[in-house]
Structure 1
Amino acid sequence: MRTRFILIQTSHAGNVGAAARAMKTMGFGDLVLVAPRWANVLRREETIQRASGALDVLANARIVETLDEALDGITHLCATAMIPRDFGPPTRTPREHLEPLAKGSEQHVAFLFGSERFGMRNEDVYRCNVALSIPADPAFGSLNLGAAIQLIAYEWRLALGGFEVRDVAPVQLPADAQAVAGMLAHWERSLVQIGFLDPAAPKKLMPRLQQLFNRAQPTQEEIHILRGIAKAMVDPHRPPLDGESTASVGDDTGP
Protein backbone atom coordinates (compact mmCIF):
# COMPACT_ATOMS: atom_id res chain seq x y z
CA MET A 1 0.00 0.00 0.00
CA ARG A 2 1.14 3.54 -0.72
CA THR A 3 1.34 5.59 2.47
CA ARG A 4 1.62 9.36 2.62
CA PHE A 5 1.89 11.73 5.55
CA ILE A 6 0.50 15.19 4.86
CA LEU A 7 1.23 18.16 7.14
CA ILE A 8 -1.07 21.11 6.60
CA GLN A 9 0.22 24.64 7.31
CA THR A 10 2.94 23.51 9.69
CA SER A 11 4.22 26.47 11.70
CA HIS A 12 7.28 25.01 13.49
CA ALA A 13 10.23 23.84 11.40
CA GLY A 14 11.38 21.41 14.09
CA ASN A 15 8.13 19.48 13.79
CA VAL A 16 8.83 18.81 10.12
CA GLY A 17 12.16 17.23 11.11
CA ALA A 18 10.48 15.27 13.89
CA ALA A 19 7.88 14.04 11.39
CA ALA A 20 10.60 12.81 9.04
CA ARG A 21 12.32 10.96 11.85
CA ALA A 22 9.06 9.39 13.07
CA MET A 23 8.22 8.22 9.56
CA LYS A 24 11.65 6.76 8.84
CA THR A 25 11.70 4.70 12.04
CA MET A 26 8.51 3.00 10.84
CA GLY A 27 9.67 2.56 7.25
CA PHE A 28 7.70 5.35 5.57
CA GLY A 29 9.12 8.05 3.31
CA ASP A 30 6.35 9.95 1.48
CA LEU A 31 6.01 13.35 3.17
CA VAL A 32 4.05 16.26 1.70
CA LEU A 33 3.79 19.73 3.25
CA VAL A 34 0.83 21.92 2.38
CA ALA A 35 1.57 25.66 2.57
CA PRO A 36 4.05 25.51 5.48
CA ARG A 37 4.97 28.71 7.28
CA TRP A 38 8.55 28.61 5.97
CA ALA A 39 9.14 28.20 2.25
CA ASN A 40 12.62 26.80 2.99
CA VAL A 41 11.45 24.62 5.87
CA LEU A 42 13.10 21.47 4.46
CA ARG A 43 16.52 23.16 4.58
CA ARG A 44 16.27 24.98 7.88
CA GLU A 45 18.80 24.03 10.56
CA GLU A 46 16.14 23.16 13.14
CA THR A 47 14.42 20.84 10.68
CA ILE A 48 17.63 18.98 9.87
CA GLN A 49 18.61 18.67 13.53
CA ARG A 50 15.23 17.27 14.58
CA ALA A 51 15.24 14.83 11.66
CA SER A 52 18.20 13.13 13.37
CA GLY A 53 19.48 11.38 10.25
CA ALA A 54 16.22 11.01 8.31
CA LEU A 55 17.62 13.28 5.63
CA ASP A 56 16.40 11.06 2.80
CA VAL A 57 12.81 11.66 3.90
CA LEU A 58 13.42 15.41 3.85
CA ALA A 59 15.17 15.19 0.48
CA ASN A 60 12.17 13.42 -1.06
CA ALA A 61 9.53 15.57 0.66
CA ARG A 62 7.38 17.88 -1.46
CA ILE A 63 5.90 21.29 -0.72
CA VAL A 64 2.56 22.13 -2.38
CA GLU A 65 0.15 25.01 -2.11
CA THR A 66 -3.15 23.14 -1.79
CA LEU A 67 -4.47 19.98 -0.20
CA ASP A 68 -5.78 18.86 -3.59
CA GLU A 69 -2.21 18.67 -4.87
CA ALA A 70 -1.12 16.67 -1.82
CA LEU A 71 -3.90 14.13 -2.32
CA ASP A 72 -2.93 13.17 -5.85
CA GLY A 73 -3.31 9.37 -6.22
CA ILE A 74 -4.68 8.86 -2.69
CA THR A 75 -7.84 6.77 -2.23
CA HIS A 76 -8.29 6.64 1.56
CA LEU A 77 -7.96 9.72 3.76
CA CYS A 78 -7.43 9.63 7.52
CA ALA A 79 -7.81 12.88 9.44
CA THR A 80 -6.22 13.22 12.86
CA ALA A 81 -8.62 15.20 15.02
CA MET A 82 -9.28 15.02 18.74
CA ILE A 83 -12.64 16.83 18.47
CA PRO A 84 -15.41 15.11 16.44
CA ARG A 85 -17.11 17.30 13.82
CA ASP A 86 -20.81 17.56 13.12
CA PHE A 87 -21.61 15.75 9.86
CA GLY A 88 -18.01 14.62 9.69
CA PRO A 89 -16.57 11.12 9.19
CA PRO A 90 -16.76 8.51 11.97
CA THR A 91 -14.24 8.93 14.79
CA ARG A 92 -12.24 5.81 15.62
CA THR A 93 -9.04 4.90 17.42
CA PRO A 94 -6.08 4.21 15.13
CA ARG A 95 -5.94 0.50 15.96
CA GLU A 96 -9.67 0.04 15.55
CA HIS A 97 -9.61 1.50 12.05
CA LEU A 98 -6.18 0.58 10.70
CA GLU A 99 -6.14 -3.16 11.39
CA PRO A 100 -9.10 -3.95 9.10
CA LEU A 101 -7.90 -1.35 6.58
CA ALA A 102 -4.57 -3.13 6.23
CA LYS A 103 -6.30 -6.46 5.65
CA GLY A 104 -8.81 -5.15 3.12
CA SER A 105 -8.47 -4.23 -0.53
CA GLU A 106 -5.37 -2.28 -1.50
CA GLN A 107 -5.67 1.43 -0.81
CA HIS A 108 -3.43 4.42 -1.19
CA VAL A 109 -3.60 5.87 2.31
CA ALA A 110 -2.87 9.39 3.50
CA PHE A 111 -2.71 10.63 7.08
CA LEU A 112 -3.54 14.31 7.43
CA PHE A 113 -2.22 16.46 10.28
CA GLY A 114 -3.36 20.05 10.83
CA SER A 115 -1.53 23.13 11.95
CA GLU A 116 -0.05 23.20 15.45
CA ARG A 117 -1.91 26.45 16.08
CA PHE A 118 -5.46 25.56 15.11
CA GLY A 119 -5.56 21.89 14.06
CA MET A 120 -7.49 20.75 11.01
CA ARG A 121 -10.15 22.83 9.32
CA ASN A 122 -13.65 21.39 9.21
CA GLU A 123 -13.71 21.34 5.41
CA ASP A 124 -10.51 19.25 5.36
CA VAL A 125 -11.86 16.80 7.93
CA TYR A 126 -15.10 16.42 5.95
CA ARG A 127 -13.11 15.13 2.97
CA CYS A 128 -11.71 12.23 4.98
CA ASN A 129 -12.98 8.68 5.36
CA VAL A 130 -12.28 8.62 9.08
CA ALA A 131 -11.12 10.85 11.90
CA LEU A 132 -8.46 9.07 13.93
CA SER A 133 -8.42 9.99 17.61
CA ILE A 134 -5.54 8.82 19.77
CA PRO A 135 -7.04 7.55 23.05
CA ALA A 136 -5.20 9.99 25.32
CA ASP A 137 -6.25 11.29 28.73
CA PRO A 138 -9.33 13.46 28.10
CA ALA A 139 -8.07 15.93 30.69
CA PHE A 140 -4.82 16.42 28.78
CA GLY A 141 -5.12 15.03 25.28
CA SER A 142 -3.02 17.55 23.36
CA LEU A 143 -0.05 15.88 21.66
CA ASN A 144 3.01 17.43 20.05
CA LEU A 145 2.79 17.02 16.28
CA GLY A 146 5.90 14.84 16.11
CA ALA A 147 4.57 12.56 18.86
CA ALA A 148 1.20 12.23 17.13
CA ILE A 149 2.86 11.29 13.85
CA GLN A 150 5.03 8.72 15.62
CA LEU A 151 1.98 7.07 17.19
CA ILE A 152 0.02 6.96 13.95
CA ALA A 153 3.05 5.67 12.01
CA TYR A 154 3.59 2.96 14.61
CA GLU A 155 -0.04 1.83 14.58
CA TRP A 156 -0.09 1.71 10.78
CA ARG A 157 3.17 -0.23 10.63
CA LEU A 158 1.82 -2.62 13.25
CA ALA A 159 -1.35 -3.13 11.19
CA LEU A 160 0.74 -3.81 8.08
CA GLY A 161 2.70 -6.52 9.88
CA GLY A 162 5.47 -4.65 11.67
CA PHE A 163 9.18 -5.31 11.64
CA GLU A 164 10.90 -8.26 13.24
CA VAL A 165 12.31 -7.60 16.69
CA ARG A 166 15.80 -9.08 16.89
CA ASP A 167 17.37 -10.16 20.14
CA VAL A 168 21.11 -9.52 19.94
CA ALA A 169 21.87 -11.38 23.15
CA PRO A 170 23.33 -14.85 22.51
CA VAL A 171 21.06 -17.74 23.42
CA GLN A 172 22.36 -19.59 26.47
CA LEU A 173 20.81 -22.90 27.37
CA PRO A 174 20.30 -23.83 31.02
CA ALA A 175 22.98 -26.01 32.61
CA ASP A 176 22.08 -29.69 32.86
CA ALA A 177 21.08 -31.38 36.10
CA GLN A 178 24.54 -32.91 36.57
CA ALA A 179 26.21 -29.49 36.45
CA VAL A 180 23.72 -28.04 38.96
CA ALA A 181 24.23 -31.02 41.29
CA GLY A 182 28.02 -30.62 41.10
CA MET A 183 27.75 -26.91 41.90
CA LEU A 184 25.47 -27.59 44.88
CA ALA A 185 27.87 -30.22 46.22
CA HIS A 186 30.67 -27.66 45.91
CA TRP A 187 28.57 -25.08 47.75
CA GLU A 188 27.72 -27.58 50.50
CA ARG A 189 31.39 -28.31 51.14
CA SER A 190 32.25 -24.61 51.21
CA LEU A 191 29.35 -23.72 53.50
CA VAL A 192 30.47 -26.40 55.92
CA GLN A 193 34.05 -25.15 55.84
CA ILE A 194 33.10 -21.56 56.62
CA GLY A 195 30.81 -22.71 59.43
CA PHE A 196 27.57 -21.58 57.81
CA LEU A 197 26.20 -25.12 57.52
CA ASP A 198 26.34 -27.59 60.37
CA PRO A 199 26.50 -31.08 58.81
CA ALA A 200 25.19 -32.56 62.07
CA ALA A 201 22.04 -30.44 61.82
CA PRO A 202 21.68 -29.38 58.19
CA LYS A 203 17.96 -28.74 58.47
CA LYS A 204 16.66 -27.98 54.96
CA LEU A 205 19.28 -25.57 53.65
CA MET A 206 20.49 -27.67 50.71
CA PRO A 207 17.00 -28.71 49.49
CA ARG A 208 16.03 -25.05 49.59
CA LEU A 209 19.06 -24.08 47.56
CA GLN A 210 18.23 -26.90 45.16
CA GLN A 211 14.75 -25.48 44.61
CA LEU A 212 16.14 -21.96 44.25
CA PHE A 213 18.47 -22.99 41.43
CA ASN A 214 15.81 -25.17 39.82
CA ARG A 215 13.65 -22.05 39.49
CA ALA A 216 16.55 -19.89 38.35
CA GLN A 217 17.68 -22.35 35.65
CA PRO A 218 21.31 -21.10 35.65
CA THR A 219 23.38 -21.38 32.50
CA GLN A 220 26.67 -23.24 32.32
CA GLU A 221 28.55 -19.94 32.55
CA GLU A 222 26.56 -19.00 35.67
CA ILE A 223 27.40 -22.39 37.18
CA HIS A 224 31.08 -21.56 36.72
CA ILE A 225 30.53 -18.23 38.48
CA LEU A 226 28.74 -19.87 41.40
CA ARG A 227 31.49 -22.45 41.77
CA GLY A 228 34.02 -19.63 41.75
CA ILE A 229 32.11 -18.00 44.61
CA ALA A 230 32.11 -21.29 46.52
CA LYS A 231 35.87 -21.55 46.04
CA ALA A 232 36.42 -17.97 47.22
CA MET A 233 34.33 -18.58 50.34
CA VAL A 234 36.88 -21.04 51.73
CA ASP A 235 39.93 -18.86 51.10
CA PRO A 236 41.97 -19.39 54.29
CA HIS A 237 43.28 -15.82 54.15
CA ARG A 238 39.83 -14.29 54.38
CA PRO A 239 39.16 -13.05 57.94
CA PRO A 240 35.72 -13.76 59.41
CA LEU A 241 33.25 -10.94 59.08
CA ASP A 242 31.85 -9.17 62.13
CA GLY A 243 28.70 -10.90 63.28
CA GLU A 244 29.10 -13.75 60.79
CA SER A 245 26.86 -16.60 61.88
CA THR A 246 28.01 -20.18 62.14
CA ALA A 247 24.46 -21.51 62.37
CA SER A 248 22.60 -23.05 59.47
CA VAL A 249 19.95 -21.06 57.67
CA GLY A 250 16.24 -21.54 58.23
CA ASP A 251 13.93 -21.97 61.14
CA ASP A 252 12.92 -25.54 60.36
CA THR A 253 13.19 -27.95 63.20
CA GLY A 254 13.26 -31.03 61.02
CA PRO A 255 16.25 -32.32 59.03
Structure 2
Amino acid sequence: MESNDLSTPTGGFTSTRFILVEPSHPGNVGAAARALKTMGFARLVLVAPRVPDVKNEPEAIAMASGADDVLASAHVVDTLADALVGVHWSVALTARMREYGPPQMPPRALAERAHEFVHHGDIALVFGNERTGLSNADVERCSALAHIPANPAYSSLNLAQAVQVLAYELRLAFQAPASPLAVVGTAGQNSASSDEIEGMYAHLEDALVELEFLDPANPKKLMSRVRRLFARSGLEREEVNILRGIAKHILLRAKKD
Protein backbone atom coordinates (compact mmCIF):
# COMPACT_ATOMS: atom_id res chain seq x y z
CA MET A 1 0.00 0.00 0.00
CA GLU A 2 1.15 3.55 -0.67
CA SER A 3 1.88 6.20 1.92
CA ASN A 4 -1.00 7.86 3.77
CA ASP A 5 0.81 11.19 3.90
CA LEU A 6 -1.66 13.46 2.14
CA SER A 7 -0.46 16.77 3.54
CA THR A 8 0.18 19.67 1.16
CA PRO A 9 0.32 23.44 1.58
CA THR A 10 -3.05 25.00 2.36
CA GLY A 11 -4.98 27.18 -0.08
CA GLY A 12 -8.07 26.64 -2.22
CA PHE A 13 -6.71 24.45 -5.00
CA THR A 14 -4.06 22.67 -2.96
CA SER A 15 -6.05 21.93 0.18
CA THR A 16 -8.93 20.13 -1.57
CA ARG A 17 -8.89 16.33 -1.82
CA PHE A 18 -11.09 14.48 -4.29
CA ILE A 19 -11.70 11.00 -2.87
CA LEU A 20 -13.00 8.11 -4.97
CA VAL A 21 -14.26 5.23 -2.83
CA GLU A 22 -13.80 1.77 -4.39
CA PRO A 23 -13.80 2.92 -8.03
CA SER A 24 -14.47 -0.02 -10.36
CA HIS A 25 -13.34 1.16 -13.78
CA PRO A 26 -9.79 2.31 -14.57
CA GLY A 27 -11.14 4.59 -17.30
CA ASN A 28 -13.19 6.53 -14.78
CA VAL A 29 -10.16 7.03 -12.55
CA GLY A 30 -8.18 8.42 -15.47
CA ALA A 31 -11.07 10.62 -16.58
CA ALA A 32 -11.44 11.94 -13.03
CA ALA A 33 -7.74 12.89 -13.02
CA ARG A 34 -8.30 14.77 -16.28
CA ALA A 35 -11.37 16.53 -14.83
CA LEU A 36 -9.34 17.70 -11.86
CA LYS A 37 -6.43 19.01 -13.89
CA THR A 38 -8.67 21.01 -16.24
CA MET A 39 -10.03 22.85 -13.20
CA GLY A 40 -6.65 23.37 -11.53
CA PHE A 41 -6.82 20.63 -8.88
CA ALA A 42 -4.38 17.78 -8.40
CA ARG A 43 -5.12 15.89 -5.17
CA LEU A 44 -6.76 12.59 -6.05
CA VAL A 45 -7.21 9.88 -3.40
CA LEU A 46 -8.35 6.33 -4.23
CA VAL A 47 -9.90 4.20 -1.50
CA ALA A 48 -9.54 0.46 -2.10
CA PRO A 49 -9.86 0.59 -5.91
CA ARG A 50 -11.25 -2.63 -7.41
CA VAL A 51 -8.20 -2.82 -9.72
CA PRO A 52 -5.22 -2.69 -7.32
CA ASP A 53 -2.70 -1.15 -9.74
CA VAL A 54 -5.28 1.07 -11.38
CA LYS A 55 -2.91 4.02 -11.85
CA ASN A 56 -0.83 1.98 -14.30
CA GLU A 57 -3.75 0.52 -16.24
CA PRO A 58 -3.57 1.47 -19.95
CA GLU A 59 -7.24 2.53 -19.93
CA ALA A 60 -6.71 4.86 -16.98
CA ILE A 61 -3.63 6.42 -18.59
CA ALA A 62 -5.44 6.86 -21.90
CA MET A 63 -8.47 8.52 -20.28
CA ALA A 64 -6.23 10.82 -18.23
CA SER A 65 -5.21 12.30 -21.59
CA GLY A 66 -2.42 14.58 -20.44
CA ALA A 67 -3.26 14.51 -16.74
CA ASP A 68 -0.79 11.66 -16.22
CA ASP A 69 0.87 13.59 -13.39
CA VAL A 70 -2.38 13.81 -11.41
CA LEU A 71 -3.05 10.11 -11.99
CA ALA A 72 0.50 9.07 -11.07
CA SER A 73 0.49 11.13 -7.86
CA ALA A 74 -2.88 9.81 -6.66
CA HIS A 75 -2.73 8.34 -3.15
CA VAL A 76 -4.11 4.85 -2.62
CA VAL A 77 -5.43 4.00 0.86
CA ASP A 78 -7.39 1.16 2.41
CA THR A 79 -10.33 2.97 3.98
CA LEU A 80 -12.23 6.22 3.87
CA ALA A 81 -11.02 6.89 7.40
CA ASP A 82 -7.44 6.82 6.08
CA ALA A 83 -8.37 9.19 3.25
CA LEU A 84 -9.96 11.68 5.65
CA VAL A 85 -7.10 11.91 8.16
CA GLY A 86 -6.45 15.60 8.79
CA VAL A 87 -9.55 16.76 6.89
CA HIS A 88 -11.58 19.45 8.67
CA TRP A 89 -14.64 19.48 6.40
CA SER A 90 -15.84 16.79 4.01
CA VAL A 91 -18.77 16.43 1.62
CA ALA A 92 -20.34 13.18 0.45
CA LEU A 93 -21.74 13.21 -3.09
CA THR A 94 -24.86 11.09 -3.46
CA ALA A 95 -27.55 10.59 -6.08
CA ARG A 96 -30.26 9.64 -3.62
CA MET A 97 -31.78 11.05 -0.47
CA ARG A 98 -30.67 9.50 2.83
CA GLU A 99 -32.82 8.99 5.89
CA TYR A 100 -29.81 9.73 8.05
CA GLY A 101 -26.62 11.60 7.42
CA PRO A 102 -25.32 15.18 7.46
CA PRO A 103 -27.19 18.22 6.08
CA GLN A 104 -27.64 18.37 2.29
CA MET A 105 -26.75 21.27 -0.02
CA PRO A 106 -26.56 21.93 -3.79
CA PRO A 107 -23.13 22.12 -5.47
CA ARG A 108 -22.96 25.91 -5.63
CA ALA A 109 -23.78 26.33 -1.96
CA LEU A 110 -21.25 23.59 -1.23
CA ALA A 111 -18.55 25.48 -3.10
CA GLU A 112 -19.32 28.73 -1.30
CA ARG A 113 -19.18 26.94 2.04
CA ALA A 114 -15.92 25.22 1.07
CA HIS A 115 -14.38 28.62 0.41
CA GLU A 116 -14.76 29.40 4.13
CA PHE A 117 -12.91 26.26 5.22
CA VAL A 118 -9.94 25.95 2.84
CA HIS A 119 -8.03 28.75 4.57
CA HIS A 120 -7.85 26.72 7.77
CA GLY A 121 -7.03 23.21 6.59
CA ASP A 122 -7.88 20.42 4.17
CA ILE A 123 -11.35 19.74 2.85
CA ALA A 124 -12.51 16.71 0.88
CA LEU A 125 -15.16 15.74 -1.66
CA VAL A 126 -16.09 12.08 -1.42
CA PHE A 127 -17.48 10.12 -4.39
CA GLY A 128 -18.84 6.57 -4.24
CA ASN A 129 -18.53 3.47 -6.37
CA GLU A 130 -19.98 3.70 -9.89
CA ARG A 131 -22.62 1.04 -9.26
CA THR A 132 -23.53 1.27 -5.57
CA GLY A 133 -22.47 4.78 -4.58
CA LEU A 134 -21.46 5.50 -1.00
CA SER A 135 -22.54 3.34 1.92
CA ASN A 136 -24.57 4.93 4.72
CA ALA A 137 -21.55 4.55 7.00
CA ASP A 138 -19.39 6.52 4.54
CA VAL A 139 -22.03 9.24 4.23
CA GLU A 140 -22.32 9.58 8.00
CA ARG A 141 -18.57 10.02 8.29
CA CYS A 142 -18.75 13.24 6.24
CA SER A 143 -19.62 16.77 7.38
CA ALA A 144 -22.17 17.55 4.67
CA LEU A 145 -24.08 15.96 1.82
CA ALA A 146 -24.38 17.21 -1.76
CA HIS A 147 -26.60 16.24 -4.66
CA ILE A 148 -26.28 17.37 -8.29
CA PRO A 149 -29.81 18.39 -9.39
CA ALA A 150 -29.82 16.59 -12.73
CA ASN A 151 -32.81 15.75 -14.94
CA PRO A 152 -35.18 13.71 -12.70
CA ALA A 153 -36.14 11.57 -15.68
CA TYR A 154 -32.51 10.59 -16.25
CA SER A 155 -30.29 11.62 -13.35
CA SER A 156 -27.45 9.15 -13.87
CA LEU A 157 -24.06 10.83 -13.98
CA ASN A 158 -20.78 9.16 -14.82
CA LEU A 159 -18.29 9.30 -11.93
CA ALA A 160 -15.86 11.54 -13.80
CA GLN A 161 -18.72 13.82 -14.88
CA ALA A 162 -19.75 14.29 -11.26
CA VAL A 163 -16.14 15.09 -10.35
CA GLN A 164 -16.03 17.65 -13.19
CA VAL A 165 -19.20 19.40 -12.03
CA LEU A 166 -17.97 19.79 -8.47
CA ALA A 167 -14.45 20.78 -9.51
CA TYR A 168 -15.92 23.48 -11.75
CA GLU A 169 -18.09 24.89 -8.96
CA LEU A 170 -15.13 24.93 -6.58
CA ARG A 171 -12.99 26.67 -9.18
CA LEU A 172 -15.55 29.45 -9.54
CA ALA A 173 -15.76 29.86 -5.78
CA PHE A 174 -12.01 29.82 -5.21
CA GLN A 175 -11.36 32.35 -7.99
CA ALA A 176 -14.08 34.77 -6.88
CA PRO A 177 -12.89 37.87 -4.99
CA ALA A 178 -13.16 37.17 -1.28
CA SER A 179 -15.65 39.32 0.60
CA PRO A 180 -14.46 41.09 3.79
CA LEU A 181 -16.65 38.72 5.83
CA ALA A 182 -15.06 35.69 4.18
CA VAL A 183 -11.57 36.99 4.91
CA VAL A 184 -12.17 37.52 8.61
CA GLY A 185 -14.64 34.65 9.03
CA THR A 186 -13.84 31.92 11.50
CA ALA A 187 -15.61 28.99 9.80
CA GLY A 188 -13.28 26.05 9.99
CA GLN A 189 -10.64 27.92 11.98
CA ASN A 190 -11.05 25.80 15.10
CA SER A 191 -12.98 22.91 13.56
CA ALA A 192 -12.15 19.38 14.64
CA SER A 193 -10.64 17.04 12.08
CA SER A 194 -12.46 13.96 10.79
CA ASP A 195 -10.31 11.57 12.81
CA GLU A 196 -10.82 13.60 16.01
CA ILE A 197 -14.59 13.52 15.51
CA GLU A 198 -14.61 9.78 14.79
CA GLY A 199 -12.63 9.18 17.98
CA MET A 200 -15.24 11.19 19.89
CA TYR A 201 -18.12 9.16 18.42
CA ALA A 202 -16.43 5.88 19.40
CA HIS A 203 -15.79 7.20 22.93
CA LEU A 204 -19.36 8.49 23.26
CA GLU A 205 -20.81 5.21 22.00
CA ASP A 206 -18.83 3.27 24.63
CA ALA A 207 -20.22 5.57 27.33
CA LEU A 208 -23.82 5.19 26.12
CA VAL A 209 -23.44 1.41 26.10
CA GLU A 210 -22.05 1.50 29.64
CA LEU A 211 -25.05 3.58 30.75
CA GLU A 212 -27.32 1.01 29.06
CA PHE A 213 -28.83 3.86 27.07
CA LEU A 214 -27.58 2.19 23.89
CA ASP A 215 -28.16 -1.51 23.34
CA PRO A 216 -25.46 -2.80 20.93
CA ALA A 217 -27.76 -5.67 19.94
CA ASN A 218 -30.55 -3.26 19.03
CA PRO A 219 -29.03 0.19 18.40
CA LYS A 220 -32.10 1.59 16.57
CA LYS A 221 -30.06 4.11 14.57
CA LEU A 222 -29.21 6.01 17.76
CA MET A 223 -25.63 6.80 16.73
CA SER A 224 -26.78 7.78 13.24
CA ARG A 225 -29.12 10.33 14.82
CA VAL A 226 -26.35 11.56 17.12
CA ARG A 227 -24.04 11.99 14.12
CA ARG A 228 -26.71 13.96 12.27
CA LEU A 229 -27.24 16.18 15.30
CA PHE A 230 -23.58 17.14 15.57
CA ALA A 231 -23.12 17.40 11.79
CA ARG A 232 -25.77 20.13 11.72
CA SER A 233 -23.90 22.21 14.28
CA GLY A 234 -20.31 21.54 13.23
CA LEU A 235 -17.83 20.62 15.92
CA GLU A 236 -14.82 22.60 17.08
CA ARG A 237 -11.82 20.87 18.59
CA GLU A 238 -12.57 22.17 22.09
CA GLU A 239 -16.15 20.90 21.85
CA VAL A 240 -14.91 17.46 20.86
CA ASN A 241 -12.59 17.50 23.87
CA ILE A 242 -15.49 18.43 26.17
CA LEU A 243 -17.66 15.59 24.85
CA ARG A 244 -14.80 13.12 25.19
CA GLY A 245 -14.24 14.34 28.75
CA ILE A 246 -17.89 13.67 29.55
CA ALA A 247 -17.65 10.19 28.02
CA LYS A 248 -14.44 9.50 29.96
CA HIS A 249 -16.04 10.39 33.30
CA ILE A 250 -19.14 8.32 32.54
CA LEU A 251 -16.91 5.30 31.93
CA LEU A 252 -14.84 5.98 35.07
CA ARG A 253 -17.96 6.32 37.22
CA ALA A 254 -19.45 3.15 35.75
CA LYS A 255 -16.28 1.22 36.68
CA LYS A 256 -16.42 2.53 40.26
CA ASP A 257 -20.08 1.54 40.58
Decide: shared fold, TM above 0.5: yes
TM-score (norm 2): 0.61
Conserved 8 A contact 2:89-2:143 = yes
TM-score (norm 1): 0.61
Deviation at 1:126, TM superposition (A): 0.7
Aligned 1:125-136 pairs, distance under 5 A: 125-136=139-150
String of CA shifts for 1:25-62, please: whole Å, max 9, x gaps: 11111111011011110000000000001011012111
- For residue 247 of structure 2, what is the aligned residue in structure 1? none
String of CA shifts for 1:186-235, please: whole Å, max 9, x gaps: xxxxxxxxxxxxxxxxxxxxxxxxxxxxxxxxxxxxxxxxxxxxxxxxxx
Q: Which of the residues 63, 88, 96 maps onto 2:109? A: 96
Say yes or no: does 1:71 pair with 2:105. no
Say yes or no: does 1:159 pair with 2:173. yes
Q: Unpaired runs of 5+ in structure 2?
A: 1-10, 178-257
- Inter-partner Cα distance in structure 2 for 1:136 and 1:160: 23
- For residue 211 of structure 1, what is the aligned residue in structure 2? none
What's the C-alpha RMSD, in Å, of the aligned pairs?
1.5
Q: Which of the residues 68, 72, 77 maps onto 1:59? A: 72
- For residue 27 of structure 1, what is the aligned residue in structure 2? 40
Conserved 8 A contact 1:4-1:109 = yes
String of CA shifts for 1:155-214, please: whole Å, max 9, x gaps: 011111169xxxxxxxxxxxxxxxxxxxxxxxxxxxxxxxxxxxxxxxxxxxxxxxxxxx
Question: What letter corresponds to residue 159 of structure 1 in structure 2?
Answer: A
- Inter-partner Cα distance in structure 1 for 2:116 and 2:80: 27
Conserved 8 A contact 2:93-2:127 = yes
Say yes or no: does 1:39 pair with 2:52. yes
Hey, which of these two has a bigger chunk of helix by percent? Answer: 2
- For residue 16 of structure 2, what is the aligned residue in structure 1? 3
- Inter-partner Cα distance in structure 2 for 1:157 and 1:34: 24
Moved over 3 A (4+): none
Conserved 8 A contact 2:114-2:123 = no
Conserved 8 A contact 1:34-1:63 = yes
- For residue 134 of structure 2, what is the aligned residue in structure 1? 120
- For residue 152 of structure 2, what is the aligned residue in structure 1? 138
- Inter-partner Cα distance in structure 1 for 2:61 and 2:39: 18
How many percent identity over aligned positions? 50
Aligned 1:74-89 pairs, distance under 5 A: 74-89=87-102
Deviation at 1:110, TM superposition (A): 0.4
Structure with greater Cα Rg: 1
Conserved 8 A contact 2:20-2:45 = yes
Deviation at 1:103, TM superposition (A): 3.7
- For residue 12 of structure 1, what is the aligned residue in structure 2? 25
Q: Unpaired runs of 5+ in structure 1?
A: 164-255
Question: What letter corresponds to residue 24 of structure 1 in structure 2?
Answer: K
Q: Secondary structure at the match of 1:75?
A: strand
Deviation at 1:130, TM superposition (A): 1.2
